[in-house]
Structure 1
Amino acid sequence: MTLSQFEIQDIDQTVLLWLDHLRIKTLIAMQQQLEVDTKHDVRDLVTNVDKDNERMINAKIRAFDSEASIVSEEGFGDQQRDMNGNVWFVDPIDGTMNFVKERANFAIMIALYVDNKPVLGWILDVVNNVVYHGGPQLGVFANHLRLDNPVNDTLSDGIVLLSGARLLYGMFGYDKIAKSALGYRVIGAAGPSFIRVILGQAVGYSSKMMPWDFAAGQVLAKTLGLSVSDIDGQPLNMLSSNIVLVATNRAHRDILTLHQS
């Protein structure tokens, strides 16, 4: 199914309204006592806000797009086996550790793919009240400001963002990548890291991610002419974890070369 420009604009504006409400709801929850639990280990946190946000987003998607499937982090979505039709990706709080401990550097992310093609993505920077949104037919916006494509810098020209745990243990050539960049940073969340790359504040970002971590970022990054792949340069599998690499075209080539050397 192909959506018209009008339909895509309508979906974009609808989701922006959801996110405006979600932002207020999340900020209020931050002023209250959070209920914090762990999932796979003590560093894999989940809060009542993650769960409440996901329930709310998924309910709105099902009311708005009843035939769609939902891939979401906290277990309230579908057990999706293919990318046929409308597939929504939901990360209700991206960077939960940052949300709990820093109260900053976290995001809410939603994406829509149609028959495995990226259509729209939204990354809400809750604290700074900016939604990065758009897609191939609309362009990419920070709230109402249209963004230009980032400068196509090399790895040595800029800052690279990396997964801290994998950098610490020298996995995937991250140590060589960090040494070859002008500088490196560890943000600890996918959404804020994607934001820095699409704004041209970093030339690349790589980490192990689940589909809800990278779905929105991939839509926005590709729309802005950035390269998105796994660490071996292959297309991302939208229904499994990937070692994701998003970068300027030149930095992408530099990083792949280092990883493969």
Structure 2
Amino acid sequence: MKNFDRYTVFEQAKQWVYEAGEIIRASIDKKLTVDTKSNPNDLVTEMDKKIEKYFADEIRSTYPTHRILAEEGYGDELKGLEGIVWIIDPIDGTMNFVHQKRNFAISVAIYQEGIGEIGLIYDVMANVLYHAIRGEGAFKDAVRLQPLTQDLKLSESILLINSIWCAENSKVNEKKIQELTSLVRGTRAYGSAALEFASVAEGIIDGYLSMQLQPWDFAAGVILVNEVGGVTLHASGRPLNLLGSNPIFTGNQQIKDEIIEKYIELK
């Protein structure tokens, strides 16, 4: 698409992310109205909606031809990723936001014709911004993230594994996941997919598995991980569906094949 200056759009998106973070921090100790969505653990607050509306209003007034894919209802009805699409999670890790008042993030990705061009993941309470422009590297604030190690063994890896793998309605072979967790050096869970992707991009976590992520959970993280030489796939090994839910592996390419081929058995 003509007239898409990635650097100008990136600077504008970054400004909005910082401003949204200020809005959240200013209200962090105020009483929240908390509702549930698909289940009692799927939380949404008035702040999720307020921040998403803030982004939607700013994007539509500044870039009226751009479209929005978002979690809380202020996006567009999309059947494809033609043109320029902003994919937004206003508060990724809402349960952490409600219970801990930390360890949550704003996630913003900008795709052009289905290709990720710009990704921003903002750890709001730590005031740390992970960001990437396609082909320009990934950064933690002003520090460039290094390429992921090329000599990693699975037995020496630390993985993030979402506990939903063990749910009764899970579509994965739980015994295989138990074998994997017993093989690797350790497992973790942070409660924010965006920050989990950022940890993979930073190289402090080697891989991340989750049974069910929506595009707004992973769209920005995919761009960051790509920029440090990592890979993000549907857990079966297929390409991602950027318009729907996916079971996902993201991480170091050195362990990708072994995990997907030996330990992920989808029912």
Q: 233, 236, 249: which one pairs with 1:245?
A: 249
Residue 155 of structure 1 corresponds to which residue in structure 2?
A: 154
Q: 212, 217, 220: which one pairs with 2:216?
A: 212
Residue 180 of structure 2 corresponds to which residue in structure 1?
A: 177
Ranges of 4+ aligned residues in structure 1 off by more than 6 Å = none
Q: Distance in 2 between matches of 1:91 and 1:107?
A: 8
1:192 aligned partner, one-letter code = L
Residue 131 of structure 1 and its aligned partner are, at CA, apart by 0.8
Residue 200 of structure 1 and its aligned partner are, at CA, apart by 0.8
Residue 198 of structure 1 corresponds to which residue in structure 2?
A: 201
Q: Distance in 2 between matches of 1:84 and 1:101?
A: 38
Deviations, residues 28-53 of structure 1 (Å, cap 9, x unaligned): 12111111111111100000110000
Asked if 1:226 corresponds to 2:226, the answer is no
Contact 2:198–2:224 under 8 Å retained in 1: no
Q: Distance in 2 between matches of 1:175 and 1:64?
A: 49
Asked if 1:111 corresponds to 2:109, the answer is yes
Asked if 1:258 corresponds to 2:257, the answer is no
Q: 34, 38, 55: which one pairs with 2:36?
A: 38
Q: Distance in 2 between matches of 1:135 and 1:258?
A: 33
Give the total of aligned pairs: 259
Q: Secondary structure in 1 aligned to 2:240?
A: coil
Taking a change above 3 Å as real, the CA distance of residues 178 and 67 of structure 1, as seen in their structure-2 partners, is: same
Contact 1:210–1:242 under 8 Å retained in 2: yes
Q: Distance in 1 between matches of 2:23 and 2:89?
A: 16
Residue 69 of structure 1 and its aligned partner are, at CA, apart by 1.2
Asked if 1:100 corresponds to 2:91, the answer is no
Q: Distance in 2 between matches of 1:200 and 1:157?
A: 13
Deviations, residues 166-210 of structure 1 (Å, cap 9, x unaligned): 146583543222222111012222011111111111110011100
Q: Secondary structure in 2 aligned to 1:30?
A: coil
Contact 2:235–2:264 under 8 Å retained in 1: no
Contact 1:154–1:203 under 8 Å retained in 2: no
Q: CA RMSD in A?
A: 1.6
Q: Secondary structure in 2 aligned to 1:49?
A: helix
Asked if 1:135 corresponds to 2:137, the answer is no
1:202 aligned partner, one-letter code = I
Contact 2:161–2:209 under 8 Å retained in 1: yes
Residue 81 of structure 1 and its aligned partner are, at CA, apart by 0.2
Contact 1:154–1:248 under 8 Å retained in 2: no
Residue 2 of structure 1 and its aligned partner are, at CA, apart by 6.2
Deviations, residues 112-146 of structure 1 (Å, cap 9, x unaligned): 11001110000000111111111223221111222
Contact 2:200–2:251 under 8 Å retained in 1: yes
Q: Distance in 1 between matches of 2:106 and 2:66?
A: 20
Q: Secondary structure in 1 aligned to 2:27?
A: helix
With normalisation by structure 1, the TM-score equals 0.94
Q: Distance in 2 between matches of 1:115 and 1:14?
A: 20
Contact 2:177–2:264 under 8 Å retained in 1: no
Taking a change above 3 Å as real, the CA distance of residues 2 and 176 of structure 1, as seen in their structure-2 partners, is: farther
Question: Identity across aligned pairs (percent)?
Answer: 32
2:58 aligned partner, one-letter code = K
Q: Distance in 1 between matches of 2:262 and 2:209?
A: 13
Residue 69 of structure 1 corresponds to which residue in structure 2?
A: 67
Q: Secondary structure in 1 aligned to 2:108?
A: strand
Q: Secondary structure in 2 aligned to 1:150?
A: coil
Asked if 1:165 corresponds to 2:168, the answer is no
